[in-house]
A and B are shown apart, each in its own frame.
Chain A
Amino acid sequence: MTAQRKVWGDTLLELTREDDRVVVLDADLATSTMAVTVAEGNPEAFIQVGIAEQNLVGMAFGLSTMGYRPWLSTFGVFLTHRALDQIRMLVSQTGAPVRIAAAYAGLLNGSSGKTHQDIEDLAIMRAMPGMTVLAPADEHEARAITRWAAEHDGPVYIRYARDAVAPVFDADYVFHPGAVHRLRDGGGDVTLVSTGVQSSRVVEAAELLAARGVDARVVHVPSLKPVDGDALLAAISGVGTVVTVEDHSVINGLGGLVAELIAERGDPDAPRLHRVGLADGWSESAPNAFLLDRYGLSAERVAEQVLEALGHSPSPSATVTVTAPGGTVG
C-alpha cells in the first residue's frame, strides 16, 4: 500500500528525467506533497517559489507559455481557494497546460482541521470551463493519471490523498478520461458510486453489506470531467437505489454530477439518489479514523447509511455521539 503523494513524487521524478520541459513548482510544502523527490533527484526541474500560491500559479502559467510542462506542488486547499483567480483567468481561460496537483485533498490531512480540509474543490473545479477534473482511487490509478496528465495539452486538476488506501486496481491499470469502472459486480439491491480514495472504502462497505444480505454494485468515477454520462447511467441502471459517496461536500461534487445526469435523462425508471458526503457544514481536527466515523465515510458508516437508504432500521451499535464545534453533519 503506497500513498498517492509518494507515487506522484516518484512518477514526477521519472517524467522530469524523460523530458526536460517537465518542471515542478513548489510553495514551501515539498516534504508534504513529496515534490521533495524531484528537489533531491533532479534539482534542475524543481522551482521553489516560497509560501506564495498566487505567484506559484502565475509562474507556472508563464512557463507553460514558453513550452514548459509545469506541475504545481502545494496543498490543494491553497490552490482552489487562495489562488483561484489565477487558476481561473490564467489557466482555465487560456487553456494552459498547467497540472494542478492538489495534495492532501479532502477531509484527511493529518488533523489540521477545517481550514486545511478542501471539501469544495470538486464543485469549484467542475464548474471551471476547460478543466479536466480527476480523483484517482489508489496508487496505481494515481500513477496512470499522472502520466496521462503529463501528456495532456490543457489544464488538469488532480486530487492526491495524503494517506495510503487498499488498492482497487492492478499495476497494469490504464487511464482513459471519462471512463467509469465497476469495482464490484452484482448489485441486485443498490449501486454505490464513489470517486477518489473513498472508492476503496466503498468497496469495503459493499463487503460489509454483503455480509448483511445486501447485494451492492460499486462504480468508481475517477474522471469527474469529462465523464462518459451514458456509461455512468448504464452502470447505475436496473436498480432502484443509487448512493453516491464522496470525501467532499454533497453539493456539486460527485453527488451533484450523478443528480444532473439522472435529472437530464428524465427516465421514469431512474434510480432514487442518496448522496453521502459532507453535508452543508464544516468539519474539524481529529485523526483519520475519528473523522471518517464522525462524517459518515468509514466503510462501516457508509454501509449503515446504505441500509438506511434502503429502509432497513439502523443498527444502534454504531451510532456516534460526539458534540463537535462548527456545525453537525453526516
Chain B
Amino acid sequence: MLENARSGHSAGPLGMADLLAVLFGHSLRHRPEQPGWEDRDVFLLSNGHTAPVLYAAMAHTGYFPTDELMTLRRLGSRLQGHPERTALPGLENTSGPLGSGLSQGAGWAQIVRDLDGRPDRVVYVMMGDGELNEGNIWEAAMYAAKYRLGNLIGIVDRNFIQIDGDTEDVMPLGDLAGKWRTFGWHVVDIDGNDIAAIVEAVDECRRVTDQPSVILARTVPGRGVPYMEHDHTWHGRVPTSEQADIAVAALTAEGETR
C-alpha cells in the first residue's frame, strides 16, 4: 500500500496492527456491511497519519474491498492520506492535525450514555504518544474524568518515537501512567503487540464504568520488519519495492508461525 502510494507513514501503523486487529476483529461491536448501524461502538483514529492500518483493518473486516487499499493517496481515492470522514463510510472522524480525537470521543461517549441512555455503547480513541504533546488531549482528559465517562476508552500507541526522535528526548512524557491517573483515568499498561494482553486490557476497561480508561500499549514501531523496528526515521518514510518485498516476506513468515 505505502510502497504503491510512494508517500505516507510506515512505523506507527505496523506497530499498531495488533491493536487494530483485536479491536476490529474482536472487541468492537460493529457491522462493517452497515457502517451507520445505530447500536455500534465507535472507533476514532486521532493519530491520523497512521490511517493505512485503519484502512487495512476496515478492508479486512469487510467495510470495503481489499483491492481498494492500493488506491491510498491517489487522486479521487476514498483512502485519503489522513482519514476523511466524508470520503468513506465507516470513518467516524477526520484527523491528521494531531490532538483532536479525544474531545470528539468524549462528546460521543457522553451523548450515547446520557441522552441515548446507552452506557453499553463504547467509544475507542486511538492516539499516538507524541500526539500527547498537544494540550487539547489533556483538555479532553479532564473533561472525560469530570463526567466519569466510563464508556470512553483511550488507547495510546506507546512506541517511544515521534518525528524528530525518541519521545523522551523531544518532549519527555515521563511517568505517563501516573499522569493519566492524576487526571482521573483508569490506566492499563500492556505490551501492545501481545494479542492476549490486548484482549484482556479491553475487557478490563469495559468493566470500569465509573471513570474513563486508557490503555498504554507499548508497541514496537515498524513491528515485524527488522530494518524498521524502533527506528524513528521510518515514521514518515515508505519502503522501496525491494524493501517492501523484504517486509512482506518477514511479516508473512511470522504470521505463519504465530
Contact = CB atoms under 8 A, between A and B. Distances in A.
Do chains A and B interact in one complex? yes
A71 interface: no
A287 B163 CA distance: 22
B170 A28 contact: yes
B164 A325 contact: no
A77 B97 CA distance: 9
A28 B164 contact: yes
Contact of A111 (B5, B76, B98): B5
A86 to B, nearest CB: 12
Interface residues of B, number: 35
Which of A31, A77, A324 neighbours the largest number of chain B CB atoms within 10 Å of its CB?
A31
A94 to B, nearest CB: 22
Contact of B75 (A78, A81, A284): A284
A111 B81 contact: yes
Given A54-B135, A291-B75, A322-B75, A28 B97 contact: no
Interface in A46-61: 48-52, 54-55
Contact of A32 (B7, B77, B163): B163
A31 B164 contact: yes
B177 to A, nearest CB: 19
Contacts of B95: 115
A26 B133 CA distance: 13
User: How many A residues touch the partner, as a band?
Assistant: 35 or more
Q: Which of A30, A52, A55, A115 has the most CB of B within 10 A?
A: A115
Contacts of A49: 171
Interface in B167-215: 169-171
Q: Residue among A111, A112, A285, A322 with the most chain B CB within 10 A? A: A285
A287 B8 CA distance: 11
A81 B97 CA distance: 10
Nearest to B162: A28
A325 B171 contact: no
A313 interface: no
A99 interface: no
A276 B235 CA distance: 36
Contact of A48 (B74, B99, B135, B171): B171
A78 B84 CA distance: 18
A289 to B, nearest CB: 10
A114 interface: yes
A294 B82 contact: no
Interface in A65-121: 77-78, 81-82, 110-116
B52 interface: no
A113 B80 contact: yes
A26 B96 CA distance: 18
A78 B82 contact: no
B94 interface: yes
A315 interface: no
Nearest to A324: B76
A316 interface: no
A294 B76 CA distance: 10
A307 interface: no
B118 interface: no
B163 A114 contact: no
Contact of B170 (A50, A77, A116, A285): A50
Contacts of A111: 5, 7-8, 73, 81
Pairs A-B, 6 closest by C-beta atoms: A50-B171, A115-B96, A286-B75, A50-B133, A285-B81, A51-B133
Given A36-B164, A52-B133, A113-B84, 4 more contacts: A50-B170, A51-B131, A110-B7, A294-B75
22 contacts: A48-B164, A48-B169, A48-B170, A51-B131, A51-B134, A52-B171, A55-B135, A81-B97, A82-B97, A110-B7, A111-B5, A111-B8, A111-B81, A112-B82, A113-B84, A116-B82, A285-B73, A285-B74, A285-B80, A290-B75, A291-B75, A322-B75
